[in-house]
Structure 1
Amino acid sequence: MASEILIVTEAELRQTVHLDETAIAVVEEAFVALAGGNVVMPPILSMELAEANGEVDVKTAYIPGFEGFAIKVSPGFFDNPKLGLASLNGLMILFSAKTGLVQALFLDNGYLTDIRTAAAGAVAARHLAPERVETAGVMGTGVQARLQMQAAHLVRPFERLLVWGRDQAKAEHCAKELAELLGIDVRAETNPEKLVARSQLVVTTTPAREPVLKSQWLHPGLHVTAMGSDQAGKNEIDPKAIFEADLYVADRVSQTELLGELRSAIEAGFWKKDTPPELGAIASGAVAGRRSEDDITICDLTGTGAQDTAIATHVYFLLKDSDAGTRIEA
C-alpha cells in the first residue's frame, strides 16, 4: 500500500505559517517535554566547512505523544550573497512516529527554523524577563533581529526598541522596518553599552566570535537572551557575565556546554556553579525562574531538535487537509 507524502515549498509555508501565539505555545510544549526526560534527542551533527565559509547542522528529536518527528538539515554558506544567493537554506523531513514513513517534506529554506527560533526567544522572555518591559534592545540586524523582537513583543509588549549593529546603515534600516512592523518607537543606537543600560530585555542575534555584550554592562532588572552562538567558535556574551548573572538558563545544557555561551564561560574558568536549569524546567514550573524584578537573568539558546519536531508537526496538521503543497505517492 502506497503512502502519501506532502511536499510544501517556502512560498506556500510563508502563506500559512506565522510567528504567533500558537507557534510560541507549540515550541513551549516542546521545551516542557524536553525537561521531562523522555524525549529522545541525539547530539547535533554539526559540520564546519572553513574552505567554503559554511556550516551544516542536522537536528532531530522524538517527543512522546507527538504523532511525528522531524529531521532538519540546515546549511549556512556565508559567501552566498556575493553570488546573489541567500546565506541560509535547508529543509525538514517529517516522519510518522508510529510507522517511520515519510509524511512531509518542507522545502522551507530555513523559514521554519527562523519561526521556531524566534518562538523560543518568546518563551525565554515570557518566563525570565521582568513583567514590565518599557525598552527592549536587539544586537544584530539580520532576520532573527527582526523576528526575535516581533516574538518578544507578543509576550512583553514594550514601548521602545533600540537596535545596534556593526553596520550603522543596516541598523537604521532594521530599526525602520521594526518600527513599521511593531508600531512603536524604534531607534538605531550607535553605542551598545547605552543600548543595554536603557533596556530591560536584550536579545543578541549575531554570529560574533568575540563578546558584543560586556559583563560590566549588566544591571538590575535586565534579561538577556543570547541566540547567536550555535557553533563552538561563537561567543556573544562576556563569559564573566554568565557567572555574575543571578540566573543562567540553558535550552539544553549538553548543547550549551559545547556550542553556547556556557562553553565560553567554562573555558574561561568562570563557571563553577552546579548544573544550570533548562528553559523547559522553568516553563513547566518545576524550577523557579526570575525571583524578583531586580534579578539579572541570561538565557542561552543553541536551538534544539525538539523545536524542529514541534514546529514541523504543527505545520503538518495545519496543512494536511488543505490544498497547500503537492502530494505524491511513495
Structure 2
Amino acid sequence: MPHDIRILTEVELRAALPLDRAAVDVVETAFAALARGDVVMPPILSMDLPQANGEVDVKTAYIPGFDGFAIKVSPGFFDNPALGLPSLNGLMVLLSAQTGLVQAVFLDNGYLTDLRTAAAGAVAARHLAPAQVSVAGVLGTGVQARMQIRAARLERPFDDVLIWGRNPDHAAACAADLSQDPGLTARVAGSAEDVVRRAQLVVTTTPARSPLVRAEWLHPDLLITAMGSDQPGKGEIAPQALAAADLYVCDRFSQCETSGELEAARAAGLMPDTPPELGQLIARALPRPPGCVICDLTGTGAQDTAIASHALGLLGDAGTVIRA
C-alpha cells in the first residue's frame, strides 16, 4: 500500500536543527547504546577513489528502542573547493524500524554528518576534556574545524582558540570566522606543535595520511580528539604519540584498528591491547583520568541513526511529503 515519505533539503534541515546540547545529548545516547552491545551495526562500506581525490562511505545502524534507522551515503571529493563546491556532501535515508519502509529522505549535502560529527566531538569533550580549558586548538581549517570548536564550547566555555592549517590563508579565514562568535578570540598559530603545546583541548580535522601530532608535544591535562582518520591509510597522530598518551579511547574498536589512528600504531607494533570505547566510559560513568587523553573518532552508523531520528522529531510539517 502507498505510504508517505517526507523529503527535506539542506536549507530546511539547517533551519530546524542547530548545533546545540540537544544534538550532543542524542549522539551521546548512540555511544551508550553501542556499549550495551545490542546495536546492529555492519562494517563501513568504504571506497577510496584516488583518481578523483575522493572517497565514499556508507554507514548504517539499528538501535533498539529507536523508531527508525538511517542509511547514510557520504562522499568526500577534496578537489571540489577549486570548483566552488563543498568537499563533503551526501544524503541520509531514514527507514521504519518496524516495517523497513522509507520514512524520510534527507538531502542534507552532508549537514547531518557534520552535525553529528561535531556533536561526537562535544561528547568526547564532555567526558574526557580537563575540567578547566582556557585555550583550545584545532588542526584544520574547514567546516568541521569550525563546528568542532563551537561544539566543544558547549561543554568547556573557553575564550581562546589557536588554529593551524597547511594553507595560511585558509587558517586566517577560519580564525576570522570563529572570532565572530561572542566571547571567542581565534588566532592563527605558527605550527601544529604550537597548538598542541599551548592548548588543553585539541581537535584534529584533516584527511592527513602522515602524522601531524608528535609524542614529544604531549603534556598532562590535554585532550586530543582525532576525527579526520576514517579510512585505511589515514592518520593524524604519530603512533608513538598514541602510545605515549595516558589513555587512548576509541569510538568503535573494530573501526579504529582498520581505519582510525590505531591502524598505524598496530602496524608499528604498538598498542596491542584492546582499548576502551567512549560508550563504555559513558555507560560506567567513569571519571576522566589524569594526564593526556587521545580520543579516536572514526564516526559510526549509530550516530547517523541518532541524528536522523532526532531530525525527524524536530521537523514538524517542514519538507515535502510524497506518496510512494
TM above 0.5, one fold?
A: yes
Distance in 2 between residues matched to 1:199 and 1:51, nearest whole Å: 37
Deviating more after overlay: 74-83 vs 230-239: 74-83
Contact 1:150 1:182 in 2 (8 A): no
Residue 314 of structure 2 corresponds to 318
Deviations 1:65-103 (A, max 9, x none): 000000000111222233332221110000000010000
One-letter code of the match for 1:233?
A: G
Aligned-partner SS, 1:256: helix
Aligned with residue 302 of structure 2, among 303, 306, 327: 306
Distance in 1 between residues matched to 2:78 and 2:199, nearest whole Å: 31
Contact 2:159 2:183 in 1 (8 A): no
Deviations 1:266-307 (A, max 9, x none): 0111213x2100011111226x35223xx1100000000000
TM-aligned CA deviation for residue 183 of structure 1: 2.5
Report matched runs for 1:93-172 at 5 Å: 93-172=93-172
Residue 224 of structure 1 corresponds to 224
Aligned-partner SS, 1:258: helix
Distance in 1 between residues matched to 2:4 and 2:267, nearest whole Å: 49
Distance in 2 between residues matched to 1:304 and 1:196, nearest whole Å: 26
Q: Runs ≥4 in structure 1, deviation > 3 angstroms? A: none
Residue 280 of structure 2 corresponds to 281
Distance in 1 between residues matched to 2:228 and 2:160, nearest whole Å: 23
Contact 1:247 1:290 in 2 (8 A): no
Residue 297 of structure 1 corresponds to 293
Q: Does 1:90 align with 2:90?
A: yes
Distance in 1 between residues matched to 2:90 and 2:116, nearest whole Å: 14
One-letter code of the match for 1:277?
A: P
Distance in 2 between residues matched to 1:87 and 1:118, nearest whole Å: 16
TM-aligned CA deviation for residue 116 of structure 1: 0.0
Aligned-partner SS, 2:95: strand
Deviations 1:229-271 (A, max 9, x none): 0111111001111111111000000000000000011011121
Equivalences, count: 324
Structure 1 159/80 Cα, relative in aligned 2: closer, same or farther at 3 Å?
A: closer
Contact 2:249 2:275 in 1 (8 A): yes
Q: Does 1:207 align with 2:207?
A: yes
Aligned-partner SS, 1:35: helix
One-letter code of the match for 1:17?
A: L
Distance in 2 between residues matched to 1:80 and 1:176, nearest whole Å: 22
* % identity of equivalent residues: 65
Unpaired stretches in structure 1, ≥5 consecutive residues: none
Residue 64 of structure 2 corresponds to 64
TM-aligned CA deviation for residue 129 of structure 1: 0.6
Aligned-partner SS, 1:180: coil
Unpaired stretches in structure 2, ≥5 consecutive residues: none
Residue 239 of structure 1 corresponds to 239
CA RMSD, 1 decimal: 1.0
